[in-house]
Amino acid sequence: MPQTKFLLDESEIPTHWYNVVADMPNPPTPPLGPNGQPIGPEALTAIFPMALIEQEVSAERWIAIPEPVREAFRLYRPSPLFRAHRLEAALGTPAKIYYKNESVSPAGSHKVNTAIPQAYYNKLAGIKRLSTETGAGQWGSSIAMAGQMFGLEVRIFMVKVSYDQKPFRRSMMQTWGGQVFASPSMETQTGRNILAKDPNNQGSLGIAISEAVEEAASRADTNYSLGSVLNHVLLHQTIIGLEAKKQFEKAGDYPDMVFAPCGGGSNFGGVAFPFFADKAAGKNVRLVAVEPTSCPTLTKGTYAYDFGDTAGFTPLMKMYTLGHDFMPPGIHAGGLRYHGDSPLVSQLYHEGLIEAVAVPQLATFEAGVMFARAEGIIPAPESNHAIRACIDEALRCKESGEKKTLFFNLSGHGHFDMASYDRYFAGQLEDFSYPEEAIRASLANLPKVG
């Protein structure tokens, strides 16, 4: 009987994160301040602890994972690597398909991998409270859980429309002791100003970020916490790919292609960067970021300096962007609705070292259902993007007879996304071609730099 799961003992949890900067052909582009000049680490000390700022700018290849973080990881790590025998059989492909199951974390996705170290470093720095924003709630759940583990108060500004529509993610955060506010809220000046003008404002991720940053910047005991995009977040996520490499060794195999969903980039960077290290050393491995056709940042965007948020509060980052005021259609993979992308992922893509593909919404749900019927686990809509691209490649292998080894990251389960599956089954989901004109219009508003 062929092996299905490749497990690691908890003593095999990696001792170091991998920093892709050490293997990039060119140094990362720096973030710029309002004056167009590179900003230094000191500009971030009001909202981040120094340990994370150091990781943000580090060029060291290996960064040690603190023991209390590794100990907290033991609650759910190492995550299993699965060989998808049943999916392979259902597709009739000669390709071998593997997936890393990040849905095993208590919050249900890979986001916990960075929430735990962020909570730890903030606690170590004497911080008492973390503030953050959340849209669909995956990040908010993860930081609520991590804050609880290290005795930090966690205040989560949740976009009002999600707060009302996704009560169960909210309940999850509350179960872990998180305080959840519908944003705009009365907790901040930003929120109060907006509500004074428009008491029925339904909120946006931009507003929620502003509220969270205002709290962090205005209180010495409070820091801000971000769940994707930044270098230190991608660094923390490399634990996924590092474990996977050990597990492929046990399986006596190695991937020809690695697929991961790509929104802000932490999921893709987390699984793909450790394989990039091998690629930089000459190994033949293709790394594929999978994004929605409705928000095609890498495949249809421009590589330019842009704001990280909609409102233009953040430093400028050089990245693939659809323009910071691009509003993607309301697809169900909330985690992939981001106008930009991680600067590290963007730079590697710009230099032709990684690939990107965009897939339409209906095809991703079709792939997710196919996966669930073969392998059991019901995937998150974000994960369905990687599954779609992987299945497409497996079907090409069926045509060509190639026995490729394919690998994707199952970033989370879909237990809190069943309403999206419902709409899919009811025929109420649509495909969106990317709105060419909308992209042109928002790209015309890119900030002028240099």
Three-class DSSP category at 246: helix
Report if residue 66 touches its own copies, rule: CB under 8 A.
no
Distance of CA 272 to the CA centre of its chain: 12
Binding span for its own copies by CB under 8 A among 141-149, 289-297, 320-328, 346-354:
141-149
Quick one: which of 415, 172, 198, 165 has its CA closest to 182?
165
Query: Is residue 378 a contact partner of residue 421, using CB atoms and an 8 Å limit?
Result: yes
* Site residues (CB under 8 A) for its own copies, limited to 386-415: 415
Binding span for its own copies by CB under 8 A among 262-270, 321-329, 371-379, 381-389:
371-379
Residues in contact with 399: Cβ distance below 8 Å, sequence separation at least 6, in sequence order: none
Q: Of 244 and 357, which CB lies nearer to its own copies in the complex structure?
A: 244
* Distances from the Cα of 361 to the Cα of 54, 100, 233, angstroms: 38, 22, 27
Q: Of 32 and 372, which CB lies nearer to its own copies in the complex structure?
A: 372
Three-class DSSP category at 59: coil
Report if residue 177 touches its own copies, rule: CB under 8 A.
yes
* Site residues (CB under 8 A) for its own copies, limited to 240-269: none
Report if residue 3 touches its own copies, rule: CB under 8 A.
yes
Query: Is residue 275 a contact partner of residue 405, using CB atoms and an 8 Å limit?
Result: no
Give 125-186 as a 3 state SS string.
CCCCEEEEEECCCHHHHHHHHHHHHCCCEEEEEEEHHHHHHCHHHHHHHHHCCCEEEEECCC
Q: Of 318 and 413, which CB lies nearer to its own copies in the complex structure?
A: 413
Exactly one of 59, 167, 221, 249 binds its own copies (CB under 8 A); that residue is 167
Report if residue 67 touches its own copies, rule: CB under 8 A.
yes
Report if residue 418 touches its own copies, rule: CB under 8 A.
yes
Report if residue 175 touches its own copies, rule: CB under 8 A.
yes
* Site residues (CB under 8 A) for its own copies, limited to 4-63: 4-5, 7, 9-10
Binding residues with its own copies: total (CB under 8 A) = 44
Three-class DSSP category at 94: coil
Q: Of 5 and 283, which CB lies nearer to its own copies in the complex structure?
A: 5
Closest separation between CB of residue 300 and its own copies, Å? 31
Residue with tokens 């899919």: 424
Exactly one of 28, 108, 261, 292 binds its own copies (CB under 8 A); that residue is 108
Closest separation between CB of residue 177 and its own copies, Å? 6
Q: State both tokens at 397.
A: 């292998």
Rounded Cα distance, 405 and 98, in Å? 8
Exactly one of 43, 56, 63, 76 binds its own copies (CB under 8 A); that residue is 76
Q: State both tokens at 23.
A: 């293997």
What residues form DSSP beta bridges with 223?
A: 130
Exactly one of 1, 35, 252, 427 binds its own copies (CB under 8 A); that residue is 1
Report if residue 380 touches its own copies, rule: CB under 8 A.
no
* Distances from the Cα of 270 to the Cα of 81, 150, 356, angstroms: 15, 23, 16
E strand or H helix at 100: strand 96-101
Distance of CA 22 to the CA centre of its chain: 21
Rounded Cα distance, 311 and 62, in Å? 35
Closest separation between CB of residue 422 and its own copies, Å? 5
Report if residue 186 touches its own copies, rule: CB under 8 A.
no
Q: Of 116 and 271, which CB lies nearer to its own copies in the complex structure?
A: 116
Binding span for its own copies by CB under 8 A among 69-77, 197-205, 275-283, 391-399:
69-77
Which residues sit at the interface with its own copies, rule CB under 8 A? 1, 3-5, 7, 9-10, 67, 70-71, 74-76, 86, 104-108, 145, 148-149, 167-168, 171-172, 174-177, 369, 372-373, 375-378, 415-416, 418-419, 421-422, 425
